Amino acid sequence: MPGGRRGRKSNFLLAVIVILSLPGAFAAERGPALVGEVPPQITPESLHCFWASRSKPYRTYRKEGVGAEVYARYDRLAYLFQELADKYGLRWDLAFLQMLGETGFLTYEGEVHREQNNVSGLGADGFWLREDGAAWLSGDRFGTLREGVEAFLQHLALWTGQDLPQEQLLSPHSRKNKTHIAAVRKAWRKLHPDEPFSVSDLGTLVQTYTGKLPSMIWADNPKYGSDIMANLKLVLAHHVARDMSSALLLRFYDRTNVTHMRSLRKKLADLQAQIKVFEDFHTNRVADYERTQREIREGGVANLRWHSNNLKRVRGDASKARPHDKKILEGQAKDIGNQLKTKEIHLRISGVGRSYAAWEAILAQNEKEFATFQKEFARGEFPVRVNAWGAITRNSVEAEIAKVEQELEECLAGTKAYDLVGGSPAMSRIDILELLKESGGACGGG
């Protein structure tokens, strides 16, 4: 491959600069967009070496010259992808890895044959056709490998939303399905109004037409995009393993991991402080309830005692009064007695005046509400304002604590994955150790 020792040395310096300059951001849930810049640490050479490390026949060809009629055409295939993908603004690294998946790492063991120059299975539908007494074939046929690569990239460009002229499309399959792809894209855009078309969208299903089965994006395989991302991870691991010592990569992982664990422990402490807020809130709520009920009961007893004593006093005065006054006092005593009996007597408690019956209703209502509160609080469902952002439940806090504790366990076990190299899939410490073992495979020349 071009570049030699100087190229590898410059790649090493670039990788070190990129890695050491990144803060160790976490990988996004969605994979990278298919339209965009390729990370600088990925080169056509690194993609070629990744494929060569997994193609024993190619390595044999490079070493012994055996199989040149088959494999010589692939010496600069990664560079061809770079050249042609740039015409459509596509990430040629993702397209190259997608091609490897479609062709079985260029083994062509499926229904599409090598001589068709079809690098992505365009037009292959499972119905194999016998052509001029040759082998059974399926899918589009192209005159050259270059034409087959560009046809694949054009089809991928359609899925990313590019409106290529019909007459420009090299693949009959692309020309036939251009309108359908646009319809599926429109339905997909409604679900993802603010997101670029990503490698994660390949292999997903979208409901395009009402009442009909969902349409698939590229392939009926929910793991299609994640398989491409897994291979991208391997490419980056090969690149890093060739150009950097394992100690440096692991040291960077450990430094990122320690920083993240520190932030997780701080978050855990904040969450545990929120649990203390819940406990304090419950203690205060119980105390307020008991105090309120006690004040009403004690105030009511004191008021009733006063009214009872007043009734005795009025009756005593009536027994001693002259006939005219006696009649008035007896009327007053009768009113007081009826009010006590019907609980309409006015009681003034903590500066608030209500009837005896109203205070009893308040006691019952307080008891009912408190019982509901106790049940909700015991289930962790009662919302409490623990910070300036609003009220939350104890269950949500405990769920977040469990999540943080689980993430801490992953950090300690080395299974927590970080995006250590910009634009790459996340890698865990275990991933790094495992991938570094196998990253010493020969590039196979070229």
What pLDDT does residue 152 have? 96
| pLDDT of the chain, 446 residues: tens digit per residue | 333 334 444 444 344 344 334 333 223 457 889 998 888 878 898 899 888 878 888 878 887 877 888 888 898 999 999 999 999 999 999 999 999 999 988 988 888 888 899 999 998 876 555 455 455 567 899 999 999 999 999 999 999 999 999 999 999 999 999 999 999 999 999 888 888 999 989 988 887 765 676 778 888 888 898 899 888 888 877 666 555 555 677 788 888 999 999 999 999 999 999 899 889 999 999 999 999 989 888 888 888 888 888 888 888 888 888 888 888 888 888 888 888 787 788 888 878 888 888 888 999 999 999 999 899 989 888 888 877 667 888 899 999 999 999 999 999 999 998 877 665 567 788 877 765 554 444 454 43
227 and 314 belong to one structural domain: no
Of how many residues is the chain composed?
446
Placement of tokens 């005692």 in the chain: 305
What pLDDT does residue 143 have? 94
CB atoms within 10 A of CB 69: 8
96 and 214 belong to one structural domain: yes
Whether this model's pTM surpasses 0.75 = no
Token readout for 182 is 């646009």
In a domain, 180, yes or no: yes
* Secondary structure, 3-state, 35-69: ECCCCCCCCHHHHHHHHHHCCHHHHHHHHHCCCHH
What pLDDT does residue 148 have? 96
Distance CA 396, CA 383 (A): 10
Q: Are the CB atoms for 425 and 236 separated by under 8 Å?
A: yes
139 and 14 belong to one structural domain: yes
Distance CA 65, CA 97 (A): 25
Residue 203's domain comprises 4-244+414-438
155 and 121 belong to one structural domain: yes
How large is the C-alpha radius of gyration of the chain? 39
What pLDDT does residue 13 have? 39
**Alpha-carbon distance values, 323 to 49, 179, 316, 335 (Å):** 122, 108, 14, 18
What pLDDT does residue 56 have? 83
What pLDDT does residue 9 have? 40
47 and 163 belong to one structural domain: yes
What pLDDT does residue 52 have? 85
In a domain, 405, yes or no: yes
- Sequence-distant (6+) residues with CB within 8 A of 49 are 1, 238, 242, 443, 444
- Tell me, what amino acid is at 386? V
DSSP string, 309-343: HHHHHHHHHHHHS-HHHHHHHHHHHHHHHHHHHHT
DSSP string, 335-397: HHHHHHHHT--EEEETTEEEEHHHHHHHHHHHHHHHHHHHHHHHTT---EEEETTEEE-HHHH
Beta strands in 189-276 (DSSP E): 205-206, 215-216
40 and 176 belong to one structural domain: yes
Give the three-state DSSP class for 384: strand
In a domain, 256, yes or no: no
Tell whether the torsion through CA atoms of 143, 147, 148 and 154 is positive or negative: negative
172 and 279 belong to one structural domain: no
In a domain, 114, yes or no: yes
In a domain, 97, yes or no: yes
12 and 155 belong to one structural domain: yes
In a domain, 272, yes or no: yes
Q: Are the CB atoms for 446 and 52 separated by under 8 Å?
A: yes
What pLDDT does residue 242 have? 59
Placement of tokens 């292999």 in the chain: 203
- Total domains in the chain come to 2
400 and 419 belong to one structural domain: no
In a domain, 445, yes or no: no
Long-range contacts of 369-375 (CB under 8 A, 24+ apart): 370/289, 373/285
Q: Are the CB atoms for 160 and 34 separated by under 8 Å?
A: yes
239 and 344 belong to one structural domain: no
